[in-house]
Amino acid sequence: MIATAPVERNQTRVARNQTGVKNNRDVSGRLTFLDWSRGLAVVIMLQGHVFHSFNRTDLRTDGPFMLSQFFGGIGPAIFLVLTGITLAFLMDRREQQGFDALARWKFALRRAGYLFMLAFSFRLQLWLFAYGQSPWTSLFKVDILNCMGLAIGLMSVMAIFTTADRVRLCAGLGIAIATAAPLVSALNWSWLPAEVSAYFVPSYQFFAFFPWAAFIAFGISIGSLLRVVRADQMNRVMQWGTLGGLALILGGQYFSNMPYSLYPKSEFWLDSPGLIVIKLGVVMVVIAFAYLWTEYAVGASWSWIRQLGTTSLLVYWVHIELVYGRWFGAWKESLNNLECAAYAAILVAAMLGLSVLRSRWSAQRFMAAVAPWFSYSSPRRVSGD
């Protein structure tokens, strides 16, 4: 149900929010700095997965592999923060359009359902392509799309609040999730089926709600902030974002190295709030750099990194099959560092080509191309439609 609101107030707010990043949009209205950040995460992800799948086991204690996996761990954090930012934009847009709190909540829940559908479709496709080599239980693996669906479903209640309120509420929610992760790890979850506990309990094999969902909460907070600032405030916001990100990196590193801990048990690479803080700081610096780079250097012109960011879901879906599927199974855990780097470069180039093809080859053009080969004709539009 759409609630009535003064037209003048809505128009003023729409104009204010749109001008906040007006110079950082392409002709379709997409925010170029967010696409560029997402594209960088894609590149980081691709190289990380290549080394993880193909690098020889005896080389996995060397510098190249360790650096690859360290930077590879930043990629999911970028994706999750950007997912939260996108959700914040959608919530704010519904608020501007006059939707009431219940309608906004339902919309966010549908978004979560859509991501769950993608997650299970993705797992089903992988299982079918690996038929005979993958157990049926792999259908229930909790991957990053599952984490997104669960987190957005639980955080959809934030849609009932105003955009300004979500800035502080979601920041607090992110802190709560990050600080609770070691406590969740310490509990006994054996009474829950493994397929269920994997959604919540920190694990090296899964993207559990704790602590990964903290990045989505922080993303909603950041996205809400971007929607309430004015155009003349954006540069200042990005400057403070850079300083804040650097402070989080240094602060998280300092407190993580202290000889004592508030938790009886905590693993830095698994559930440490310090690691979440460090990664959040890196993401903030990346977003600020992407804004400055696209605003003052390349603008809305074509960029291969940004191109990857516009089709990140397709690239993610296809590359997982190429890296972890049976297609190149003979190379698994058999390549040296140089060979892995070369394969990663080839994979990035191939995914870039796929991304460009997807952008230029729309569904309508595809149907127009294949229609002559089949007894198919588009229905005639009725005059006046």
SS3 string of 306-351? HHHHHCHHHHHHHHHHHHHCCCCHHHCCCECHHHHHHHHHHHHHHH
Arithmetic mean of pLDDT, 71-76: 94
Which pLDDT score is estimated for 372?
A: 54
Arithmetic mean of pLDDT, 113-125: 95
Domain borders along the chain are 7-373
Which pLDDT score is estimated for 365?
A: 59
Which pLDDT score is estimated for 218?
A: 98
Distance CA 5, CA 96 (A): 9
Arithmetic mean of pLDDT, 269-288: 97
Distance CA 57, CA 335 (A): 9
Which pLDDT score is estimated for 301?
A: 79
Distance CA 91, CA 105 (A): 9
Tokens (6 digits) for 354:
């796929």
Rounded to two decimals, what is the model's pTM?
Answer: 0.87
Q: Are 294 and 24 in contact (CB under 8 A)?
A: yes
Arithmetic mean of pLDDT, 130-144: 88
Which pLDDT score is estimated for 364?
A: 53
Calculate the alpha carbon distances from 265 to 113, 190, 242 in Å.
Answer: 35, 18, 32
Computed from CA positions of residues 313, 314, 318, 319, in that sequence, does the dihedral angle turn out positive or negative?
A: negative
Q: What are phi and psi of 335, to 5 degrees?
A: -100, 145
DSSP of 118-163, one letter per residue? Answer: HHHHHHHHHHHHTTTTS-GGGGG---HHHHHHHHHHHHGGGGGS-H
Arithmetic mean of pLDDT, 87-105: 95
| Percent of the chain with pLDDT strictly greater than 90 | 75
For the ranges 100-104, 353-357, 364-368, 373-377, the lowest mean pLDDT is seen at 373-377
Confidence of residue 13 (pLDDT cuts 50, 70, 90): very low
Which pLDDT score is estimated for 4?
A: 39
3-state secondary structure of 31: strand
Arithmetic mean of pLDDT, 222-233: 93
Arithmetic mean of pLDDT, 65-93: 95
Which pLDDT score is estimated for 3?
A: 43
Which pLDDT score is estimated for 300?
A: 67
The answer to whether residue 14 scores a pLDDT higher than 50 is no
More confident residue, 371 or 37: 37
Distance CA 169, CA 155 (A): 11
Which pLDDT score is estimated for 374?
A: 43
3-state secondary structure of 384: coil
Which pLDDT score is estimated for 24?
A: 64
Arithmetic mean of pLDDT, 78-96: 96
Confidence of residue 299 (pLDDT cuts 50, 70, 90): confident
| Percent of the chain with pLDDT strictly greater than 70 | 86
The answer to whether residue 27 scores a pLDDT higher than 60 is no
